[in-house]
Structure 1
Amino acid sequence: MSQNKSIARLSRRSVLKTILYTPPILMFGQGGLFADQDVRPLFEPRQIPRHRKIRTAVIGVYNRGAQVIGEFNRFQDQIEFVAFADVAFLEHDASVRGFAGVPCFQDYREMFEQLHEQIDAVIIATPDHAHFPQIVHSMLLGKHVYVEKPIAQNVYECRLLEKMAKGCPGVIVQMGNQGHSGSGTLQFREWVKAGLIQNVRKIDAWMTNSRRWHGWTDTSYPEAIPPVGFEWDVWLMRRPFRPYSEKLVDGNWRCWYEFGCGAMGDWGAHILDAIHRYYLNSAMPYEITTKLIGPSDLIYPQGSVITFRFRGENGRPPVELSWYDGQGNNPPAPSGVNGNLGNVGSLVYCEDFVVRGTSHGGHYRLLSGEKTRELQEAGRIPETPRPPSNHYQNFLNACQGIEPVSSPIAVAAPLTELLCLGCVGQRFGGTLRYDAASAEITNHPQANAMLKGPDVRDGWQVYDRPAVMKSKAAQIKAPEDVPWENLIDESLSQWVNPYEWGRAQAVNGEVHLTTDRSKWFLMTKKAYANFVFEGEILMPVNEGNSGFQFRSQMAKNRVWGYQAEVDTSDRKWSGGLYDEGRRMWFISPNRDQAGTPAQRDASIAEFRARAGDCFKQGQWNTYRIVCIGSHIQIYVNGILTTDIHDAMDLAGHIGIQHHGERGLVYKFRNLRIKDLGVGGELYYPHRENAAVAAIPSKMDGAIYEAENANRMNDAQVADNHTGYQGTGFVDFGGAGSFVEWDNVLADQAGEFTLTFRYAASDDRPCNLLVNGEQVGRIPFASTGNWTTWQTVDVKVQFRTGRNAVRVVAVGQGPNLDAMAVN
């Protein structure tokens, strides 16, 4: 713990509570917790002894996160995973395969609140726009951080992180530009030190492969409904509200100016890394000129050429660095060079030769073989150092004091700032003049505003100050701290009847419901998310059927949503949970959604055993409904009848029901509620139309779902056979039909095992191509039918960085579910 005098007398838990719950204006104002001093972490970061494992939490465990976990898990003598957080954990009791018993959270803030003392380091593998708040939160709690590139999503965030780093010198932060620890980066450094690379005036760099947004024509944000349970509010974080869409998740966030950094942020960190660090000395350009191909106000262009101009300094002449992206948009080849430059690389134009670079820390070479021999004979080409560790182990070693971290904020933030300036250029085009000292674009107000990014949503501004932010769970009020609100008055002013029939009367503190037509509901005008509700009901003996609606929706002559059952019949289902107008009896008891008749009958028998006698005929019966987050509890006369987690609706109206029997009077009294605040997940009004959630992977390694492949030919995504993982599979056509993933990443060259999951009614072999070359044949032997899935392994060689894997049918192809890379 910090020894600062202002907090020396506070306990660790008291200090944590102070920083978590103190408004930032008080915390940093005069007399506040951090008055008269630089911002420091709440807890001194730990240097973990070599004999003890680094207790590590992961924020973002799917997609790239799964790959990063696999890379770190190779060093099990140094690392121990103690917590996982991901907005896509759809179940309250989610788990990560291979890590049984490790707690999982949807909200990373709740993870810290519950487990901060058990966490030494944090791995962040989330979308670009989420990096900054998660890094700040982790650093303030004294946690070491490994974060995927880029380290932030705009210039403003980069500058704040540099300020944070100065105030938290003991916190290790490593950006995940893996090549920075590679031998090629060290080689470039030695070439610069030896004077081999000098007097450079021109640099070209490019990544001209197909990107996700190529071909998109969106002029507005698409709109869909998140899968039930998906924590969209936390996914958005600081950004303005945008509706959920598959075009925003699973890596597609990279396409949008508000959420990602395009090809520049994705690949620039791997291609320009050594050049910016060791030749340009992390300098900033004074001018950025951009030519655009297919520009858009929302998504990155179909192609661009961005020219950064740097002033000469410290004996280095002025430099023009040009970045090319977009399919086929390669730079001109150097004089005397014939053939294709390839889709990824860099050219450094020295005085009398050109140096060719690749990406991800790959080696550099002179384009002229004759010049190479001349320099070798003269002893001017220095030996390339061998890296002491790869990028992942380098971070672990730094946490244990074994070696310095390779890509700290001092290196990563300036590189990311350069990339973000390129992103601004791609948005507006033309020439922008940049004052690096003040971090301002001086000739374009709109471009200057983009340096800070979109307006921050309410509640998320605390990270700018900087301070940590309460989780949603922490924002929900404790029931004992909230007074009861009475919902009944003489005019029933808090209620509305959405039907064209039905009558409600206030009679001596009671509400009497009757009808002359059919079933109807009296609903509260106000919607509630987290609450404790109580009410009493008196029903005719052995007649009628009623219920208390909650978190329900309404339209003209229609109500739908959760209902706490009031059952006067011998069925004895009072206190059960019915989904009115939707899933019906779906869980407690499960009559309508059970997988088999045996499961249905067992569920009904179990419910009757615990709750069958809770309801009292001819008496006032007291119902209590507690909803906090996805947790729903129903009590009848003090008996807990239903205790489940469900996230179909997380906010809505309270209601009381008349089932439609003419002449029967349903009576209610003592209707009251404790409103615990919204707190819970962002509410969508029609979650019943939500997409089906992806089925968790059944494979080990980095998973590439077939239905998400970048390219297909004569093949289509389908889900008409059960047993697949993800959201479906790819149904191949005839000979020549194919599926291709063009973004299979390898941190270093070598042998990898590809595991394909498939189904086939007979033998359906396919050819396997890696980086355009056929490397073998996948047998895809018969699995017997289309619902029996098997796996087959093939060993291949990958190069460092991006690889393309294509599966091509020889005749009729299989149903391909997924590929795993190990």
Structure 2
Amino acid sequence: MRTTRRGFIQKTAAATIATAAFPAYLKASTVPPSDQVNVALIGCRNMGFGILKHHLNLRGVNCVALCDVDQRVLNEKAAEIKRNYKQSPKLYGDFRKLLENKDVDAVIVGTPDHWHCLPTIYALQAGKDVYVEKPLANSITECNLIVQAAKRYNKQLVQVGQQQRSGGHWNKIHQLIADGKLGKLRKVNVWGNFNYGIGQPIQADTPVPEGVDFDFWLGPAPKRSFNPTRFHGSWRMFWDYGGGLVTDWGVHLLDMAFWPSKTVAPPKTIMASGGNLSFADHAHETFDTMSVIFQLDDYAVTWEHTAGTENGPWDQSYGLAFVGDLGTILADRSGFKVLPEWDNQRKLDKTPPLELDSHGENHAQHVENFVQCIRDRKSPVCSPEIGRAAAIAAHSANIAIRSGAGMLHWDEQTNRFTNSELANNYLTPNYRTPWKLPEI
């Protein structure tokens, strides 16, 4: 954490974290060499390929197929797999052809957000397990469809890429709160300030790069000309493909904020303000400035971001502050610390101070959990329902501003907002022909 360390590392607690982060099933002796898992990757350029490498670092996991609409990316990643892992996956430009491959046991969906829904559901229908990146999908209706598909095709497994669910220090935070170490949890403040949230400097349209099937990249999104500011590296700043910082970093951090609520339902009330208030020379539609309040049953969660800056509360560009009657837990991916409230009458801390360092992003542990679940057919730690709750919250924050409603009330029974029909118009994307929303 970037904040100044003031406490001490609790050795016994650190041992607990280490144990939680590296469960017993990861020991090589417990994994039979013949127990092979064949994985395929759809969307190879960035995060998806990183997740694939975590799979291949596990014994008995093989890459049998790669799929991407950019032939240069596809060839580069295939060469890297051959060089570093001595494997030669089959290459595809159309994920539907990949799903016909009977050798594939599990699929990693590492595509842009607008391409999460169809590959995930088609993979389940084809009998494949799925690791899908977050957010679960690029719209609320698509999130609901994935959850419905996972229930219908329940012989298959789905792990959502909210990897902090597999992180030892995040599990320790959750346990401290559950054990009452903060007393009554009152609110969780969440923030994420990053320069990339403003997109790239505005550029004119260009021809489609050689080897890119741009029409397939657009897929169900509206037809448009090619612009490099809407493609590799910055697509998530445009509504047709992503939801900006709140659906990117926000989903990860909001998931941690919602975890103590013991529910997988989205927040009932969402109040948001903000807009595009700066960096008019950069190409982005998603909001560069946001402040949001989510009301849960028994505590509140706030989210804020100011894209184009990397300062924030507690001298951290991102993080969470779990605020309780007895103290606050300040956390990010590098660790956490407990900041006790002071009992002035008794002249002592209301809860014991504690500080722990951690090991980063927890992708490896999350992938390890998924692969073990493929082998033993148990449920992964981040279900589609968990992914749905965080994604719907993030999408609802954007919709509250886009619709002009400001405050929205979510009805979990009807999957609609009760106070704004204009907001309900943002629930379901209008797929471009010939693509259609799946029927479950």
Q: How would you bin the TM-score normalised by the shorter chain?
A: 0.7 to 0.9
Residue 388 (structure 2) aligns with: 413
**How has the CA–CA distance of structure 1 residues 94 and 200 changed in structure 2, closer, same or farther, with 3 Å as cutoff?**
closer
Distance 1:80 1:229 in 2: 27
Q: How does 1:807-822 map to 2 (within 5 A)?
A: none
Q: How does 1:127-166 map to 2 (within 5 A)?
A: 127-166=112-151
Residue 309 (structure 1) aligns with: 295
Deviation at 1:284, TM superposition (A): 2.1
Q: Report if the CA contact (8 A) 2:182-2:326 is conserved.
A: no
Distance 1:457 1:265 in 2: 23
**How has the CA–CA distance of structure 1 residues 431 and 53 changed in structure 2, closer, same or farther, with 3 Å as cutoff?**
same
Residue 185 of structure 1 pairs with residue 170 of structure 2: yes
Distance 1:198 1:50 in 2: 47
Residue 456 (structure 1) aligns with: 431
Distance 2:220 2:200 in 1: 28
Deviation at 1:94, TM superposition (A): 8.0
Deviation at 1:61, TM superposition (A): 1.3
Distance 1:420 1:324 in 2: 14
SS at match of 1:325: strand
Aligned CA RMSD, in angstroms, stands at 3.2
Residue 285 of structure 1 pairs with residue 282 of structure 2: no
Residue by residue over 1:452-501, the C-alpha shift from the partner in whole angstroms, topping out at 9 and shown as x without a partner, is 13x1111211x4214xxxxxxxxxxxxxxxxxxxxxxxxxxxxxxxxxxx
SS at match of 1:365: strand
**How has the CA–CA distance of structure 1 residues 427 and 216 changed in structure 2, closer, same or farther, with 3 Å as cutoff?**
farther
Q: How does 1:2-17 map to 2 (within 5 A)?
A: none
Residue 211 (structure 2) aligns with: 229
Distance 1:164 1:265 in 2: 22
SS at match of 2:351: helix
Residue 325 (structure 2) aligns with: 351
Question: Normalized against structure 2, the TM-score is what?
Answer: 0.80
Distance 1:139 1:402 in 2: 15
Residue 351 (structure 2) aligns with: 375
Distance 1:136 1:350 in 2: 40
Q: Report if the CA contact (8 A) 1:157-1:452 is conserved.
A: yes
Residue 180 (structure 2) aligns with: 195
**What letter is aligned with 2:302?**
S
**What letter is aligned with 2:114?**
H
Residue by residue over 1:138-185, the C-alpha shift from the partner in whole angstroms, topping out at 9 and shown as x without a partner, is 000110111111111111111111111111222111111221100122
Q: Report if the CA contact (8 A) 1:257-1:298 is conserved.
A: no
**How has the CA–CA distance of structure 1 residues 307 and 93 changed in structure 2, closer, same or farther, with 3 Å as cutoff?**
closer
Q: Report if the CA contact (8 A) 2:132-2:159 is conserved.
A: yes
Distance 1:92 1:59 in 2: 10
Residue by residue over 1:741-763, the C-alpha shift from the partner in whole angstroms, topping out at 9 and shown as x without a partner, is xxxxxxxxxxxxxxxxxxxxxxx
Residue 118 (structure 1) aligns with: 103
Distance 1:465 1:128 in 2: 20
Residue by residue over 1:41-85, the C-alpha shift from the partner in whole angstroms, topping out at 9 and shown as x without a partner, is xxxxxxx9873211111111112233222222211x221011110
**What letter is aligned with 1:320?**
A
**What letter is aligned with 1:187?**
K
Unaligned runs of 5+ in 2: 1-30, 83-87
Specify the structure having the higher radius of gyration (Cα): 1
Distance 2:340 2:169 in 1: 18
Q: How does 1:29-68 map to 2 (within 5 A)?
A: 51-68=34-51
Q: Report if the CA contact (8 A) 1:151-1:416 is conserved.
A: yes
**How has the CA–CA distance of structure 1 residues 158 and 392 changed in structure 2, closer, same or farther, with 3 Å as cutoff?**
same
**How has the CA–CA distance of structure 1 residues 320 and 375 changed in structure 2, closer, same or farther, with 3 Å as cutoff?**
closer
**How has the CA–CA distance of structure 1 residues 183 and 426 changed in structure 2, closer, same or farther, with 3 Å as cutoff?**
farther
**What letter is aligned with 1:233?**
D
**What letter is aligned with 1:366?**
V
- Taking only the aligned residue pairs, the percentage that are identical comes to 22
How many residue pairs get matched?
390
**What letter is aligned with 1:73?**
L
Task: Report which structure shows greater RCO (CA 8 Å, sep ≥6).
Answer: 2
Residue 105 of structure 1 pairs with residue 92 of structure 2: yes
1:247 to 229, 236, 258: 229
Deviation at 1:396, TM superposition (A): 0.6
SS at match of 2:78: coil
**What letter is aligned with 2:98?**
M
Q: How does 1:289-438 map to 2 (within 5 A)?
A: 289-294=271-276, 299-310=285-296, 312=297, 317=298, 319-327=299-307, 340-359=314-333, 362-368=334-340, 375-376=351-352, 390-401=365-376, 404-429=379-404, 430-438=406-414
Q: Report if the CA contact (8 A) 1:188-1:278 is conserved.
A: no
Distance 2:389 2:170 in 1: 17
Distance 1:197 1:92 in 2: 49
Unaligned runs of 5+ in 1: 1-47, 334-339, 467-822
Distance 1:92 1:267 in 2: 26
Residue by residue over 1:521-571, the C-alpha shift from the partner in whole angstroms, topping out at 9 and shown as x without a partner, is xxxxxxxxxxxxxxxxxxxxxxxxxxxxxxxxxxxxxxxxxxxxxxxxxxx
Distance 1:153 1:93 in 2: 28
Question: Normalized against structure 1, the TM-score is what?
Answer: 0.44
Distance 2:329 2:132 in 1: 30
**What letter is aligned with 2:316?**
G
Structure with more helix by fraction: 2
Distance 1:420 1:288 in 2: 10
Q: Report if the CA contact (8 A) 1:82-1:103 is conserved.
A: yes
Structure with more strand by fraction: 1
Deviation at 1:323, TM superposition (A): 0.6
Q: Report if the CA contact (8 A) 2:199-2:237 is conserved.
A: no
